[in-house]
Amino acid sequence: MKKLLLTLIVLLASTISYAEPVHNTLNAAIDMPNLIKFTDNLSLGVEGTKGVASNLFYENFSGIEDDHNYQIFAKLTYTGSLLNFSK
C-alpha cells in the first residue's frame, strides 16, 4: 500500500513538473446584470466567460480553446452608493 501511494505521488509530481506555464489568456465575456429587478438599486443577473486562446505571442501558443474553461456566475448587482460625497 505504501509503495502504491509513493508511486502515485511520484507520477503526479512528474506530470506537474513537465507542465508548460500559461503566460496569458484571451477571454471572452458576456454580462447581463439586470435580468431580475428587485428594487431600483438591486437586481439579479448572470455573467459568462470563456477562455478563447492562451499563450498569445509565445512559441507554445495553444490556439483556440473550444472544449473547456466555461464559467457562469450568478450575481447580485447594487447600483446605489455606499458613501455619497456629491453634496
Write out pLDDT tens, residues 28-78.
Answer: 889 999 999 999 999 999 999 887 777 777 776 666 666 666 888 899 989
Q: Assess if residue 80 is contained within a domain.
A: yes
Q: Assess if residue 10 is contained within a domain.
A: no
Quote the pLDDT of residue 37.
94
Cα Rg for the chain, rounded, in angstroms? 22
Taking alpha carbons only, the member of 24, 18, 19, 21 closest to residue 57 is: 24
Give the whole-angstrom CA distance, residue 25 versus residue 62.
Answer: 10
Q: Assess if residue 3 is contained within a domain.
A: no
Q: Assess if residue 29 is contained within a domain.
A: yes
Q: Assess if residue 5 is contained within a domain.
A: no
What are the CB-based long-range contacts (under 8 Å, 24+) for 8-14?
A: none
Q: Assess if residue 11 is contained within a domain.
A: no
Looking at the structure of the chain, the number of domains it has is: 1
Taking alpha carbons only, the member of 54, 5, 52 closest to residue 29 is: 52
Q: Assess if residue 16 is contained within a domain.
A: no
CA-CA-CA-CA torsion sign (52, 69, 36, 42): negative
Domain that holds residue 81: 23-87
Does the pLDDT of residue 17 top 50, yes or no? no
Q: pTM of the predicted model, to two decimals?
A: 0.54
